[in-house]
Amino acid sequence: MRIRKVWIGLALGLVAAMASAAHAIPALQLYIEGATYDTDSESWVVGTNSFRLWVVGNTSQFGTIQDVKLSAAFQTGEVGTISLSPTTTSLLTDPSAPVAPVLNLGVGADGTLPLMSDGNSLPAHGIYGVGTSFRQWDLGDFSLLDSPIGDFINSYPSSFPRNGQINVYNVTITGYTIVHFDAYNHIEGFNHALKAPFSHDAGVVPEPGSLILVGAGLLGSTLLWRKRRS
């Protein structure tokens, strides 16, 4: 009887652990207001050159996330601009606008990858490599607990079980066919850098509205949609 109770207890513990993992909220994640979650590329995708980008930090679970960086990848050889202006969102409680991001890398050389705080490169995940360049911004530390947060994957969250920091930016893009965003860096005490999971990042196709109607399938050969195959 005692052995049976032990096995039942272990089984229940495993179920609870699996449920907890299934509802885990990443340390960092990205979201674009009004975007569609594309399951092939596992990214929030929007087809306009002006939008609101969220960088979400799960500070209630992970503590201060230090020196957060945001990169924007685009096709080498294209010339354009990417501007980020701090703002807030009205979709949920977001009482604090972030400080202005600091551009620390104008254009990375073709084929190079962003470096994370531990000295390792951000995994290419089908985005970075030959034919791709990027810009990078410093967003500062994430330490606030003033916004409810949930898991921004597949759809806008239906529940917000934790509190954290949400940095919202008005983004305007010119000149680039495709832009892909990633967020990353570290938490004190961790021996490796952290990044927004590649299932929680964001991509932009800033083309006229008529192109949007064609659908994401047309873009299967471009760098943004290589991610699924990597």
How do residues 49-107 score in pLDDT, each as one tens digit?
999 999 999 999 999 999 999 999 999 999 999 999 999 999 999 999 999 999 998 88
Burial level of 109, CB count in 10 A (0-12/13-18/19+)? exposed
Q: Which domain holds residue 128?
A: 26-229
> Residue 33 — very low, low, confident or very high, per pLDDT cuts 50/70/90?
very high
**CA nearest to 146, candidates 162, 168, 122, 169:** 162
pLDDT digit string, tens, across residues 132-168? 999 999 999 999 999 999 999 999 999 999 999 999 9
Instruction: Decide if 78 is inside a domain.
Output: yes
As a whole number, mean pLDDT of residues 103-122 equals 89
Determine, yes or no, domain membership for 11. Answer: no
In a domain, 13, yes or no: no
Number of domains in the chain: 1
Q: 1-5, 88-92, 219-223: which has the minimum mean pLDDT?
A: 1-5
Note if the pTM is more than 0.75. yes
**Per DSSP, which regions of the chain are E strands?**
28-32, 36-38, 43-46, 50-57, 65-75, 81-87, 102-105, 132-142, 147-149, 162-174, 179-187, 194-195, 201-204
Residue 1 lies in a domain: no
Residue 86, domain member (yes or no): yes
> Could you tell me if residue 49 is inside a domain?
yes
Within a domain: 17: no
Q: Is residue 8 part of a domain?
A: no
> Which pLDDT value is given to residue 191?
62
